Amino acid sequence: MLKVWFLVFIVLSNGFSSTGQDMHNSTVPDVVNIGALFNYNTTFGRTVKIAIRAALEELNANPSILGKTHLNVILQEDSKYRGFLSISEVLQVATKHTVAIIGPQSAVTAHVISHIANELQVPLLSFSALDPTLSSLQFPFFIRTSHSDLYVMTAIADFVDYYGWKDVIAFYVDDDSGRNGIEALGDKLAEKRCRISYKAPMSPEPTDEEITNVLVQVALAESRVIVVHVNIFLGRKVFDIAKSLGMMGSGYVWLATTFLSGILEMNTPFPAGFTNNIQGVITFRVYTPDSELKRRFASKWKNLTQGETANDPLGLSALGLYAYDTVYALAHALDAFFKQGNRITFSKDPKLSLLHGDNLGLDTLNIFNEGNLLRRSIYEVNMTGVTGTFRYTSDRDLVNPSYEIMNVVGTGFRSIGYWSNYSGLSVDPPEALSSKPANNSRAGKMLRPVIWPGDTTKKPRGWVFPNNGRLLKIGVPKSISYHEFVSQVPGTDTFEGFCIEVFLAAVNLLPYAVPYKFIPFGDDHSNPSATELVRLITTGEFDGAVGDITITTERTKMVDFTQPYIESGLVVVAPVKKTDSNAWAFLAPFTPMMWAVTAIFFLFVGAVVWILEHRVNDDFRGPPKQQIVTTLWFSFSTMFFSQKENTVSTLGRFVLIIWLFVVLIVNSSYTASLTSILTVQQLSSPIKGIESLVNGKDPIGYTQGSFAKNYLIEEIGINESRLVALNTPEEAANALKKGPHDGGICAYIDERAYMELFLSTRCDFTVIGQEFTRDGWGFAFPRDSPLAIDLSTAILEMAESGDLQRIHDKWLLRSACLSQGTKLEVERLNLKSFWGLYLICGFACFLALFIYLIQIVRQYIKHSSEEVHPADQSTSSSGSSRLRSFLSFVDEKEEKVKHRSKRRQTEMTSCRSSIVGSSISFSSNKDYAHSSPHKSDGGGEA
C-alpha cells in the first residue's frame, strides 16, 4: 500500500513539474529582454540610442549588478510616434517577452500604449513623455524616469511672478502633451494671481502658414509675455517665423519650455545663424548637479557619438543623461527583483483568447505575471546616477525637481539662475540650498540680469494695447447732480469735469497710447449706482470706469482701483442758526462745573496759604475779621497776579508757585475762548454729529446712487425707513429748510467733495462734526489690469508736480459764502481739560499741609515739655485742655514762641547754676561738721 501511495506522489510531482515548466523558470534567466520605442532617425532618437547602448555595455560588463544575467535591448523603430500607428510597433516589442519597455518618444503615444502596458502588466519607463496627467492612477504601469512638465510650468509661473507680470500668452501644440502642460501652467499661474490671457494652439503637424496665422493672432493680443510649449521638431520653425514677423524685438518676452534647451544642447556647437532668431529668449533646462559620474560620462560621449552623426555633431543633453540613468534604474530594480526570489514568467491573456477569428495575432501576446512586483522594485530604487540622486517620492515622482534658467545671448546661452521645488528661484545651485532652511519669501528670490529681446537689459512692461482696432469701453456715470465732477457735453459724445480731466492728464503721462471710448452709464433721471457700474466691469460690458467712484470694500472685491486722486469721506450737513451775544457772554467760556471747581480752588488755596503763613507773616495776622478779608483778597487777587501780601515761608511759596501756574493756564484759556466767542460769529444746531443722528428718529437725506445708504444701514445701524433719497443739491437744500417736522430732513449725509460745492453758496447749512469714513475716488479696471498700475503711477506724478491741485482748483474752487468765518458753537471749556492741573495743585497743597502739621506738632511737644514742670505732671490737664493749648500755640506768632522759649531756657540755666552753688556750699558745711567731733573725740582720748 505504501508503495502505491509513493508512486502516486511521484506521478503527481512530475505532473506538477511538467505543468509548471510552462509557467515558471527554475533559475534566474541568462538574458532579460527590454524594449526601447523611439524614432532613431532623428537627433532625439540617436541621442537616446547611444545613451541606452552605453548603459547596457557597462551593465553587461559589470557582474556586481544582475550577476551573470545580461540585458538585451530590442530597439523598435517608432517611425510614427504619434498615437494609433505606434500600437502595432509596441505590440511587436511585447510579443518578444519583454519585461519592460523604455519609451515612447511622445506623450501622445504614451497615452495610447499605456493601456497596453496596463493589460500586459509590463512597466513602461519614459523620460521624454512629460505630460503631467500620465502620472494619474489610470496608468499604474507608466513610470516616469524624469520630471514632468508640472514642475517646469511651476518654474515658469514663479519666473512670471518674479518680474511682476500678470498675463501671459500660451503658444502650444494642441495635443495631449501641449494641452495638459498648459493646463498645469494655468493652475500654477492662478496660485500667483496671474493668468493665461490668450491661448494660441496649433495642430500637431502644422504648416508654415498655420504657424504664421497663429503668431499673427498672438501679435494682436495684449500680453507680450509668450510661453512656448512645443516639441523639439517644431521649436526652431516657430522662432524663425516669429523673427520674420518682427516679434523677436524689444517689448517681447519669450519663455520656452525644455524643448529649446534640448535643441541647443543636442546641436552644440550651434550651426551658423541658429541663435540669431532666438536672441533674448529664456529657456528652462533640467538641472543635473555636477558629479564625477557625470563628468566621466560626458568625457566618453564624444567617442560614443563617432559614426552615429555623419553630418552634424551630437551634443550631450539632459535627454541622454536620463536615458542612461533609466537603464541603470531598471537594472537595479531587476537585481532586487531576482534577489527577492522572484522569477520571470508569462501567461496567456484570457481576454485575448476570447477573440475568435483574430487575424491580428493578438493571441501571441502574454501577460508578465510578475509585472507588479517589478514595478514595485522600480519605485524602490535608490541610486546615484549621472543625473544625481535617483529616488521616487510617495507620489511616484522623482525627488529634487530643479531647472537651470538659460538666457540665449550671442552665439550661446548663459545661466541667470536656478529653480527648484525646494527653494524656488535663486542664483545658487539647488544642492547649495538643500541643507539650508527653505526661504520662499519674495526677498529671498534673486536672478541675474537678463538680456531681453531687442538687446536690452530693461525689463519689458509685458503688455501693450491690443492692435486689433478695438477701443477700451470706459463707463462714465451720468449723474444729474454736481456736474463739476462729471458731465456730458450736450449734443456730443464727449465728457468734461474734474474726474474726466484728471483721467485725461494721467493718460497723457503714460509712455504708450491708450485707445478708449467713453460710454455714458445712467438714465438721465436719477443718479446711477456706482456699484452697479463697477459690477459691469466684471461681466466684460465695460473695460473700465472713470468718474466720481468711491473706493469701498465691496467694490475692491470686484475690480482693481487706481491710486485715489481725491480724498472724500462721509460728513453730516445740517441747518444752523446764528447765535447772538448777550449780557452773560463772559460766562460762556467755562461750564458751570468748571466755574464751581475754579472758585473752590481759589478759596482752598487761599486758606492753605493763610495756614502756612499765619505764624510767621504779619500780613496774615490780626483780628479774625481782618484775617478773613485778607485771605479772600489774597485768593482772588492771584487771578490777576496782583496780590500785595508777601509769602515768607518755604511751604507757602511752594504752594503759591504751583497755584500761579494753574491760574496762568486757566486765564489764558479763558481769554482765548472768550475772544473767539465775542469776535467770531457763532452758529448753533440741534445736531451734534453722526452720534446724535443714530440715537434720533428724524429722517436723514442722502444722495441717490451713493454708497452712503448701505453704509448707514449696515455699519452705523440707522433704520432704512429713516433714509430719504435725494437726486439734486436743490432737493437736498429744500428738504433741509423744511426740517423733519414739515416733511423734510434733519440732516444731509454725503461725501465731503460734494459738500464743499454744496456749501459754497448755502450759508445756512454747515458740516457738523468730523468725517466718519476715510475714502477716496479712483478709476476702476478689471482685476490685475496693468493699466490700473500705470495710471496710479501717473496720478502720483501729477500730485507731486502740482498738476492735480491745479485741476482741482479749476473745477472745484468756488467763492465761499459770507458765513465762511463762522463757527459752530465753540465748545465750552470743561473740567475734563484741566483736571490734571487741579490734581497737581491739590496734591501740592495737601503735601505742604502735611509737612507743616509735622513741624507744628514737633514744636508743640518741645514747647510743652519746657513749660510743664515735673511736679505738675501728675495734675496735667484733660484732652480738651491740651487741644485748647495746642490751638492757642498754633495761633501764637512763632517769633513770640521762640522768644519765650529762649527766655525760659535762660531762666532754667540760671536756676540750675544757683542749685549747683547751694549744693556745693551744703556739702562743705557737712564735711566740716563731720570733722569737728572727730577732733574732740581724739582730744578727749588724749
SS3 readout for 344-405: CCEEECHHHHCCCCCCCCHHHCEEECCHHHHHHHHHCCEEEECCEEEEECCCCCECCCEEEE
Average pLDDT over residues 624-650: 73
pLDDT of residue 230: 93
Last residue of a domain, one of 813, 831, 866: 813
Q: DSSP 3-state assignment of 642?
A: coil
Identify whether residues 264 and 407 lie together within a single domain: yes
Last residue of a domain, one of 721, 753, 774: 774
Residues in the chain, total: 942
- 8 A C-beta contact, residue 73 and residue 35: yes
796: CB partners within 8 A, 6+ apart: 563
Identify whether residues 41 and 124 lie together within a single domain: yes
**Alpha helical stretches, state H, 614-728:** 624-637, 650-679, 690-695, 708-711
CA geometry: angle 859, 865, 867, nearest 5 deg: 100
Measured from the Cβ of residue 881, the count of other Cβ atoms closer than 10 Å reads 10
Identify whether residues 102 and 162 lie together within a single domain: no
The dihedrals phi and psi of 220, each to the nearest 5 degrees, come to: -85, -10
CA 769/CA 837 separation, integer angstroms: 28
Identify whether residues 39 and 117 lie together within a single domain: yes
Q: Is the peptide bond before 269 cis (omega within 30 degrees of 0)?
A: yes
- Residue 903 in domain: no
Rounded to the nearest 10 degrees, how much is the dihedral formed by the CA atoms of 145, 151, 152, 157?
A: 180
pLDDT band at 575 (very low <50, low <70, confident <90, very high): confident
Per-position DSSP letters for 61-85, written without gaps between them: T-TTTTTT-EEEEEEEE-SS-SSTT
Grid coordinates in use for 479?
449723474
Average pLDDT over residues 381-403: 94
pLDDT of residue 267: 79
First-to-last C-alpha distance (Å) of the chain: 173
Last residue of a domain, one of 813, 829, 861: 813
CA 792/CA 795 separation, integer angstroms: 5
- 8 A C-beta contact, residue 403 and residue 284: yes
Instruction: Name the region of 717 (left: φ>0; alpha: ψ -120 to 50; beta: rest).
Output: left
Q: DSSP 3-state assignment of 641?
A: coil
Of the listed ranges 420-424, 447-451, 608-612, 740-744, the least confidently predicted one is 608-612
SS (H, E, C) 170-205: EEEECCHHHHHHHHHHHHHHHHCCCEEEEEEEECCC
**Residue 284 confidence (pLDDT) above 50:** yes
Q: Using only the alpha carbons of the chain, give its radius of gyration.
A: 52
- Residue 548 in domain: yes
Q: Is the peptide bond before 449 cis (omega within 30 degrees of 0)?
A: no
Per the structure, the complete domain to which residue 45 belongs is given by 31-147+296-391
CATH at residue 254: 3.40.50.2300
Identify whether residues 509 and 543 lie together within a single domain: yes
Q: Which of 299, 260, 324 is nearest to 127 (CA)?
A: 324
What digits encode the pLDDT tens for the residues 91-104?
Answer: 788 778 899 999 88
- Residue 699 in domain: yes
- Residue 496 in domain: yes
Of the listed ranges 245-254, 290-299, 624-633, 660-669, the least confidently predicted one is 624-633
The dihedrals phi and psi of 874, each to the nearest 5 degrees, come to: -70, -20
- Residue 362 in domain: yes
Identify whether residues 182 and 215 lie together within a single domain: yes
What digits encode the pLDDT tens for the residues 853-906?
Answer: 887 777 777 766 655 544 444 444 566 676 676 666 666 666 666 666 666 667
pLDDT band at 615 (very low <50, low <70, confident <90, very high): confident
Beta bridge partners of 517: 473
pTM of the model: 0.68
Identify whether residues 427 and 476 lie together within a single domain: no
What digits encode the pLDDT tens for the residues 670-696?
Answer: 888 777 666 655 555 667 778 778 888
pLDDT band at 820 (very low <50, low <70, confident <90, very high): very low
Of the listed ranges 288-297, 461-470, 832-841, the least confidently predicted one is 461-470
Name residue, grid cell 426740517: 739
- Residue 4 in domain: no
- Residue 3 in domain: no
Which is more confident, 761 or 241? 241
**Residue 817 confidence (pLDDT) above 70:** no
- 8 A C-beta contact, residue 711 and residue 570: yes
**Residue 265 confidence (pLDDT) above 90:** no
- Residue 453 in domain: no
**Residue 12 confidence (pLDDT) above 60:** no
pLDDT of residue 443: 62
pLDDT band at 794 (very low <50, low <70, confident <90, very high): very high
CATH at residue 745: 3.40.190.10
CA 235/CA 260 separation, integer angstroms: 7
Grid coordinates in use for 434?
538643500
- How many domains, in total, are found in the chain? 5
Tell me the range of 141-150, 565-574, 871-880 where mean pLDDT is highest: 141-150
Identify whether residues 267 and 156 lie together within a single domain: yes
Identify whether residues 211 and 355 lie together within a single domain: no
pLDDT of residue 490: 87
Identify whether residues 257 and 155 lie together within a single domain: yes
Identify whether residues 203 and 276 lie together within a single domain: yes
Tell me the range of 291-305, 363-377, 394-408, 852-866 where mean pLDDT is highest: 394-408
Identify whether residues 417 and 275 lie together within a single domain: yes
CA 187/CA 557 separation, integer angstroms: 21
Tell me the range of 3-12, 14-23, 286-295, 843-852 where mean pLDDT is highest: 286-295
pLDDT of residue 103: 85
